[in-house]
Structure 1
Amino acid sequence: MILSRFILPLILLLCGFTVRAVYLDQFQSNPFYDYVPPAWDQTVYHRGAVAFSEGDLLAVAPGETNKFSPLYQYFLGILYRLFGVDLRMVWCVQGAMGVASSLLIYAIGRRYFKAGIAFTGALFFSLYAGNWLYEGTLYRETFMTFLELSALWLLLRMMDRPGWPTVLLSALSFSLFMQSRTNNLLVVVAVLAFLWSPFFSRPEKGKKWLAPWLIVFVIASLPLLGWVKAVHGKWGFYDQDGPETFLFANLPDYSGKEYKFTPQFHEVVKTVPLETGPVIQFVLQNIGEHPWDYFQLYLRKTFYYFNDYETPNTVNFYLSQEFSPILKWGIPFGVLASLSLMGFFMLWRERGKWNLLHVLFAANFLMFLPFFVTSRFRLLIIPFMCLFAGYTVHFIYKAARDGIQQKKKGPIAGVMAVLLFLLWATHTRPLPEGKIRILDLINIGSFYMSNARLEDDQSGLYYYWRAWELSRTLQPVDQRPELTRRALWDYYRWQAGDFDDKKDIESAIVAYRKALFFDYGKAEEHGHLAQILFENRKAREAFIEALRSADMDPGLSSPHILLAIVYNHTLNRPLKALFHMQRAWSLAEEKDKPDFHQQIKSYLDRLVILGMIDPSVSLEDADVLRDMALKSLPHLTFQAPYFHLPENIGTREQAENHMISLFEHLILNPKANKGAIYRQLAEIHGTFLHDVSAEYFYMERARSVGLNYEGFERERENVRARWATAQIPWGPQPLGRAGS
């Protein structure tokens, strides 16, 4: 009695608090420890909770869609009101809820098993690392797990001692659990349906308490329905994101795991509105037309649901291990899944029927099966997995002991064979990217970049670099070059601007070049680079960058100013200088045009005096000025259909001179063969300048203006493959956190 009532619960308390204390200590090095990421579900809960703590009774998150049930943000709001907006307090409270959940599992388990089995199940729950991870996030799964276990424990108490106190508490707890996420209603319905025959239908047990239970449940559930009406302007479910997730997770090309929009989804949403009725109707019709495809889809979902891989949505379990090594030492999900599946069916066979643990196990599984599988969505089933796993461990122990005593190896051999098969079946099957996704590395890098600590920038760059290296090693269908390039572009563009502001010209030039390696088609940045190159007495490089900028964005004024200066002062091409002056004037802001006009008029008058242009030429005659400048351009000839470079171009200098002519034709000649020019620019940058980013950019430009010949798409795809797998042409790779 002392062992089961005091010692075992005390061990659970000590174990639960110890592992969580170690985890929270290690968690402090994680950027998520004191930072709420923007544009995540966590942001909605956090901002809504802050609003509630500041007096907004609706707890509406400003600037967010508020598409989730607000119960969790009310819970957070109360914590913020009591302790201030302190994430550390949230992690401590949620950790305590995790420990309390293990005690509830033990108490519930004792209703169905011996104390040793209940203890083993509760200990498994305490040692499952996924619980620790999500107790340190602003997601509602820890909160919901505690509510679910509390509701079950209070229901069992009500069944033992029906009365107003237990009925009120049981109905209220189930109402709160259901309100925390709309599809939790399935669990409530399943429990009530299962208990109808043995409890609620019997006069001597719970029949007279069913109506009061339902009345309390309904009344307690109404306020948040009013919140939905007040916030969204119409009646609806507590959660408003159901149709979208239900649709993409119920299309035949869905992988069966992770949050990812598929090609079929993008096609379907063109004709099917993201509303509950139309989406359900479409899916049901599609199932009727393609039953085999949907059978395979749900088989995949079931497989991945019980697979050991902790499928990430936003937080990645495996990346978190780099900050909190203790996560590596928790019980793997695949072990729990294997043991629990065995226990589920062995207990059913032993007792000949289901109990509430079977019902809750099945309901929590079926509740998410129509949607997508991620690690945190499985947390609600973990308590029941742990109890069945505890039963299996004790069954194996008993079978082994009996086998040794009776010298029979058959029973234990059969059990172990099934267990080994299940362990193999649930063995980790990660995503094509591996356990850690490109997106996970980009996310954590961006969080390092987002805070005010400049020393964290190096860590952010480290994770961006890792994302780049991961992407380039994958199969083309799994690569994310646009994502990785965008992140690294942002970093180096910020760095370039910072150096520019500090007048560190040499460093700014290097940073601009690095930024443009990742996103070559930025006209303004080419223009900025041209300006600082010119200020650093690198006129030829500045001239080329200005030509690139003027071609990329004809609406920019600044590159034309620099081109006018170079043509006039360095190259002695006054007619070209005049054309670019006129373009700069026409694109300038209205407040600058009068002074600009006067300067250009003086220059034009000087050319008239020198006899270089006719006195009748006006600054407003843009086409005339263009034609005069165009006359000095060399004639270009292209050899169709492939438009390769002329054979006499064999050196980098010759290629650059030809490139300048190509740019001049693009800017000055409205009849230029743009497809052929961009094709040659791509060849110059790839062959002579060894810049695959520029090569791919100009191949895309050639395609965008309609260039097409036999073999062009193959050439473009080859260039894209090199662009997607390119090595960063400088090094070494930055060191990460703590020199990692």
Structure 2
Amino acid sequence: MSKNRIFIPLLIVLFAFIPRYIYLTQIESSDPSFYHLLAGTDARTFQGWAENILQGKIEGNDKLLYTSFLSLIYRWAGNDLYAVRLIQIILGSLIPLLLYFTGKLLYRESVGLVAAGLASFYAPFVFYEGTILIASFQVFLMALLLFALSLAVKRLRPLYWLAAGLVMGLMSIDRGNILLFIPFFLLGIPAVFKGTGKKLWQGVTFFFLGIAIVQAGLFSLHFSLTGTGKVKTNPLGVHLYRGNAYGASGQYGRLSALPAVPPGQSYLLATARSIRAHPGAWMKLLGRKSLFFLNRYEIPNNYSFEYSQRYYSLLRYLLHFGWIAPLGLLGMVMAARERRLRLFLLLALSYGISIIAFFVVSRYRLPFVPLLILFAAYLLTNARRFLQEARVSRKVIYFFLIIGLFWISNRNLHLSYPNAPYNWGSAYLQAGNFQKAIPHFEEAIRIYPGYAKAYDALGNSYLRLGEIDKAIVAYERAVSLESGKASFHNNLGTGYFEKGRWEEAIREYEKALELRPDYDKPYYNLGNLYRRLGREKEAREMFRKAKGLKD
């Protein structure tokens, strides 16, 4: 027995580690941004914040837990992105183990084993563990929270409740939506626990104490480093407006694409007024967001799971959301009769609402998946019993329910995102591999023909390959789509310069300066152009102005 108690957990971790390590070797050899994160992405922002933490600076950092985790790795291994990813896949390999123990504690070992198997080979887990993003760390914390809660529910010891509160508090540092569980938890106590004795309320008190300890520690850290206890968080009102205003897509989108909020009016009030003015549209939006939440498509922000599947075959052969979600959701329906599982149903319900209430993005949904996996395992291990005990009419209901859930989860939403190929192309462009960058920019343009940035980047790629005519065509298209962008005019001017079209180049550089007088590059470029034309006095004046802006 003692050998099994060691052997099974080790085997689970090993099986989970193998696909993750294979994927790590694949992306190291072919991802152009593996060692050099792309500027403008969240990953690069987090890297910068982690570097600031090493210098004792936390101003502007609203993802303090994950970036502190990064900074610890940087302190130990230097700014080594391979080390970060390796540690993340090690933590990811512990997620199936935590789900194994959770299932075993709550029900029986077979539930834990099935849950561990599903989590070991779940493709989005593997994908996000290879990124420098919060998602995989939040999934690990969710699995840890489930384990701590299972101990607390099973044994009702204050120490386990305290541990659960501490983990939830840690999760809330970077993603405050987890705290929506608190009212669900309080209201659901009678449905979850038999009686409300002293031992239970003592445990509940320790649970909230754990959350409070983390929040107090966060306040103290901010006070010691910034002189103020004010903690920077993502603005609730802005995100509510982004996800619920009239015209919102239900996904992450630019505020500029939505109706402007009147000066002095809060985003919360603007959201409420928008919903009141367009209740029918808002109800449709809620339905759309619910569909996004339940569908297999991993809605991207910076990195696209679907686009990466084209280049990493491993991701195509592992499990995806379309398999896990229907089983997990039906498992939740079946588990409602089990008192010991109701707390986890409340956690699933509160977390799902906290995502749909704002907007749906793959990496925000990801921490919900351990709950789905747990209930999918519960369903799979009890399916035979359910079918034997159920009446014929109930079996018919189960059949149509699972068919409907599979249809919702796997239907083609015909979504595509130009940012995914654009970011791949930008990574190749940054790495100096211009030939490989071009197909990605062309793909971004195919998805969204009005994507001015992609045309501009395509022009940059052609320019560096010496294909000046193609570069000019791309630059001209970028300018025609977004004529108010100074950098586009500057780049078009450079294309004309390389072709010897001097007057047109001067016109574009001057237009860039008209749009943005503090832009130094057009001054340098004009200086070089005037020098080429023998207009030395004008050239020196342009260089002087450029240097003044640099200084």
Q: Same fold (TM over 0.5)?
A: yes
Structure 2 distance, partners of 1:302, 1:382, is 15
On the 8 A contact 1:340/1:389 being kept in 2, the answer is yes
| Structure 1 equivalent of residue 419 of structure 2 | 439
| Structure 2 equivalent of residue 271 of structure 1 | 263
Structure 2 residue corresponding to 1:308, chosen from 296, 319, 322: 296
On the 8 A contact 1:253/1:262 being kept in 2, the answer is no
SS in 2 for 1:21: helix
5 Å-filtered alignment, 1:161-560, equals 161=155, 165-195=159-189, 202-227=196-221, 236=230, 238-257=232-251, 259-261=252-254, 265=258, 267-271=259-263, 278-348=266-336, 350-351=337-338, 355-398=342-385, 402=388, 412=395, 414-432=397-415, 434=416, 437-451=417-431, 454=432, 456-468=433-445, 470-471=446-447, 478-496=448-466, 510=469, 513=472, 516-519=475-478, 545-549=501-505, 553=510
List per-residue Cα deviations over 1:175-215 (Å, max 9, x = no partner). 22222322222234533553477669834423345445534
**Which letter does structure 1 place at the counterpart of 2:420?**
D
Structure 1 distance, partners of 2:479, 2:249, is 34
Structure 1 distance, partners of 2:411, 2:276, is 33
SS in 1 for 2:250: coil
5 Å-filtered alignment, 1:80-229, equals 80-161=74-155, 165-195=159-189, 202-227=196-221
State the shift of 1:493 in Å.
3.7
Relative to structure 1, is the Cα distance of residues 591 and 190 closer, same or farther in structure 2, using a 3 angstrom cutoff?
closer
Give the percent of matched residue pairs that are identical in Structure 1 and Structure 2: 22
State the shift of 1:227 in Å.
4.7
On the 8 A contact 1:199/1:207 being kept in 2, the answer is no
Relative to structure 1, is the Cα distance of residues 170 and 510 closer, same or farther in structure 2, using a 3 angstrom cutoff?
closer
On the 8 A contact 1:308/1:333 being kept in 2, the answer is yes
| Structure 1 equivalent of residue 56 of structure 2 | 57
List per-residue Cα deviations over 1:292-318 (Å, max 9, x = no partner). 222111111111100111111111002
Structure 2 distance, partners of 1:150, 1:388, is 16
State the shift of 1:422 in Å.
1.4
Structure 2 distance, partners of 1:523, 1:125, is 50
SS in 1 for 2:140: helix
Structure 1 distance, partners of 2:542, 2:289, is 62
TM-score (norm 1): 0.63
Aligned Cα RMSD in Å?
A: 3.9
173-182 or 293-302, larger mean C-alpha shift: 173-182
Relative to structure 1, is the Cα distance of residues 128 and 524 closer, same or farther in structure 2, using a 3 angstrom cutoff?
closer
Structure 1 distance, partners of 2:10, 2:301, is 35
Relative to structure 1, is the Cα distance of residues 143 and 192 closer, same or farther in structure 2, using a 3 angstrom cutoff?
farther
Structure 2 distance, partners of 1:285, 1:233, is 37
Structure 1 distance, partners of 2:214, 2:493, is 63
Structure 2 distance, partners of 1:417, 1:488, is 49
Structure 1 distance, partners of 2:128, 2:316, is 15
List per-residue Cα deviations over 1:325-357 (Å, max 9, x = no partner). 110012121221111221111222x44896112
On the 8 A contact 2:455/2:477 being kept in 1, the answer is yes
| Structure 1 equivalent of residue 13 of structure 2 | 13
Q: Which structure carries more helix by proportion?
A: 2
SS in 1 for 2:24: helix
SS in 2 for 1:249: helix
Identify unmatched segments of 5+ residues in structure 1: 472-477, 497-506, 534-541, 567-580, 593-740
232-241 or 29-38, larger mean C-alpha shift: 232-241
List per-residue Cα deviations over 1:120-145 (Å, max 9, x = no partner). 22221222100001111111122122
Relative to structure 1, is the Cα distance of residues 366 and 431 closer, same or farther in structure 2, using a 3 angstrom cutoff?
same
Relative to structure 1, is the Cα distance of residues 105 and 486 closer, same or farther in structure 2, using a 3 angstrom cutoff?
same
Structure 2 distance, partners of 1:35, 1:417, is 49
Structure 2 distance, partners of 1:179, 1:528, is 46
State the shift of 1:586 in Å.
10
The structure whose Rg is larger is 1
| Structure 2 equivalent of residue 41 of structure 1 | 42
Structure 2 distance, partners of 1:409, 1:215, is 49
141-150 or 214-223, larger mean C-alpha shift: 214-223
Identify unmatched segments of 5+ residues in structure 2: 481-487, 514-521, 544-551
On the 8 A contact 2:12/2:97 being kept in 1, the answer is yes
SS in 2 for 1:255: coil
